[in-house]
Structures are given as C-alpha cells and as structure tokens.
C-alpha cells in the first residue's frame, strides 16, 4: 500500500515506522523539520516538509495514487480539512482524521468522515481499568 501521513509527531512517527517495516510505501509530511528529523535513520519512506493547510502539498503528494491517508497533526481543524481534501478531491479510499474533541469527532463520523478520538479511547480504557473485573479477564480496548 501507499500510505500518506500528515503529522510526524508522537503518533505519526510510530505509524510511519510500523507501516514502513510492514513493507508499505510511506510518505510522511510535517510542517516542522525538527519533527521529521525524529524519523529513524533507517526510515526508507519519503519525508516531506509541508504545511497541511497549504493545498500545494496535496497536489504533489496525491499526483500518485494513495491507498490510505492519516491526518494526525495536533490540530483538529487541519486534520478534518486534510481528510476531506484527500477523500473528496483526490478520492483516497481510506482517510482517517485524529480529532481530539469528542463532540466534533462524533459529528464528523455522522457525516461519513472516519475519525479516531484519543480522548474517548482513553476514557474507555481508564473506566475499564477501574472496573471490578479481574485484570486477566479484561478485554483490550482497540
Ligand atoms: P503530536 O501531537 O506529538 O502527535 O505532534 C503533532 C505533529 O503535527 C507535530 O510534529 C506538528 O509539527 C505537526 N503539525 C501540526 N500542524 C501541522 C500542519 N498544519 N501541517 C503539518 N504538520 C503539522
């Protein structure tokens, strides 16, 4: 698969490393060169400096077909806009946006935009951790 990741922070870095090791072609974009410098020395994908609010970056990166697009910057607005551009304009089949605000994440989901909300994932995990079920019987939160 060709996977494009917007945001090379703590989450984007991990996705890029894992997906590259699994044999995918990964392009990772960040506006901050220092974030890109944190990629492993042996990272074999493409690292691009670019701002997700700038249309030119999408023109360039989606000139070749992408199978997956992850918008995982630390800005909900940027992520939602980027995911919509990838989905609507460049017809990327799988686009997922990281949205920190649970209310907005739910609203966007209802509009058909795939989102992950770290806030609600963490909330579920924490509540599970204090539930009366024995630790070994607990299901992992996906
Ligand atoms: P983290 O919260 O650690 O996952 O980091 C978020 C990353 O998103 C940082 O490396 C930021 O530089 C990056 N970022 C934030 N806004 C943008 C943007 N508009 N375009 C590209 N990267 C961004």
Model pLDDT for residues 23-72, shown as the tens digit of each residue: 999 999 999 999 999 999 889 999 999 999 999 999 999 999 999 999 99
CA angle, 101 then 18 then 13, to 5°: 50
Model pLDDT for residues 86-128, shown as the tens digit of each residue: 999 999 999 999 999 999 999 999 988 899 999 999 999 999 9
Q: How far is CA 21 from CA 27, 34, 101, 131, in A?
A: 13, 22, 31, 36
Q: Whose CA is nearest to atom 5 of ligand 1?
A: 9
Average pLDDT, the chain: 93
| Residue 5 near residue 27 (C-beta atoms within 8 A) | yes
**Ligand 1 pocket, 7 CB below 6 A?**
yes
Q: Which runs of E-coded beta strand occur in the chain?
A: 2-6, 25-30, 46-49, 68-71, 94-98, 114-116
pLDDT at 142 over 60: no
pLDDT at 141 over 60: no
Counting every residue written for the chain, the total comes to: 142
Where do the domains of the chain lie? 2-130
Look up the CATH number of domain 2-130. Answer: 3.40.50.720
Cα 9 to ligand 1 centre (Å): 6
Cα 129 to ligand 1 centre (Å): 30
**Ligand 1 pocket, 31 CB below 6 A?**
yes
């Amino acid at each position: 698969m060709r996977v494009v990741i917007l945001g090379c922070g703590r989450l984007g870095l991990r996705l890029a490393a894992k997906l590259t090791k699994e044999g995918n072609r990964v392009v990772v974009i960040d506006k901050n060169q220092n974030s890109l410098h944190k990629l492993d020395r042996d990272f074999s994908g493409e690292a691009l400096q670019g701002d997700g609010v700038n249309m030119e970056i999408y023109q360039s990166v989606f000139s070749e077909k992408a199978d997956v697009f992850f918008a995982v910057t630390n800005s909900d607005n940027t992520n939602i806009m980027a995911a919509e551009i990838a989905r609507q304009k460049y017809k990327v089949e799988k686009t997922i946006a990281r949205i920190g605000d649970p209310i907005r994440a739910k609203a966007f989901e209802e509009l058909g935009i795939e989102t992950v909300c770290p806030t609600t994932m963490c909330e579920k995990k924490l509540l599970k951790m204090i539930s009366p079920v024995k630790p070994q019987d607990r299901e992992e939160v996906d």
